[in-house]
Amino acid sequence: MEFKTNIGEDLSVILSEQKVLLVFLRHFGCTFCRETMSDLSKVKRDLDRSGIDIVIVHMTACETAQDMLELYGLGDVQHVSDKSKILYKKYGLHRTSIRAMFGFKNWWRAFVAGLIKGHLIGKPAGDPWQMPGAFFIHDNQIINKFEYRYVSDRPDFRTLARA
């Protein structure tokens, strides 16, 4: 199946022609999704200098995603709407378990990321049980990936893209 980015580029072409940090988000109401966007915003300039493009995959309409990405300084990042979660499945990203969603670690991290750091929580926009993921891809090959065990896990995107 062919997936196009918000500006009409074919995702398969991008992945075969560029170095890409492909980031799959949870829903935009998720505290940890918002933290991920903040983290990506902080490393974006370094990745750009290294010739690495960020492409974000989400489960909402592109217009909704664009508004959220702009809030986090990622308005110029290409993104793909995958409401049916076909790409999520293709990359082996599953739905979470009760433990991975509601464990003590998540409650603590939600407190820190949501209240202390101000990412808060919003209305789910997408499947709240869908796990996120991050993949560094070059020449259409996965060079490195970050596999989430808990929804609150936090990848180091610079390290992930250096592999």
Beta-ladder partners of 130: 95
Least confident range from 7-11, 34-38, 40-44, 93-97: namely 93-97
Say whether 161 sits in a helix, a strand or coil: helix
109 closest CA partner among 19, 33, 7:
33
pLDDT score recorded for residue 38:
93
Distance of CA 85 to the CA centre of its chain: 13
pLDDT at residue 111 above 70?
Answer: no
Any idea which residue has 């196009």 for tokens? 4
CA-based nearest residue to 126, from 1, 29, 4, 23: 29
Per-residue confidence band for 112, with pLDDT thresholds at 50, 70 and 90: low
Q: What is the largest CA-CA distance in the chain?
A: 42
The span from the CA of 15 to the CA of 95, in Å, is 24
pLDDT computed for residue 50 by the predictor: 95
| Residue 116: both structure tokens together | 């202390």
Per-residue model confidence (pLDDT) at position 59: 95
pLDDT tens by residue, 56-82 = 999 999 999 999 999 999 999 999 999
Residue 9, token pair as written in the block:
């580029």
Domains of the chain: 11-162 (3.40.30.10)
Q: How confident is the model at residue 85 (pLDDT cuts 50, 70, 90)?
A: very high
pLDDT tens column, 138-150: 999 999 999 988 8
> What integer pLDDT is reported at residue 152 of this predicted model?
78
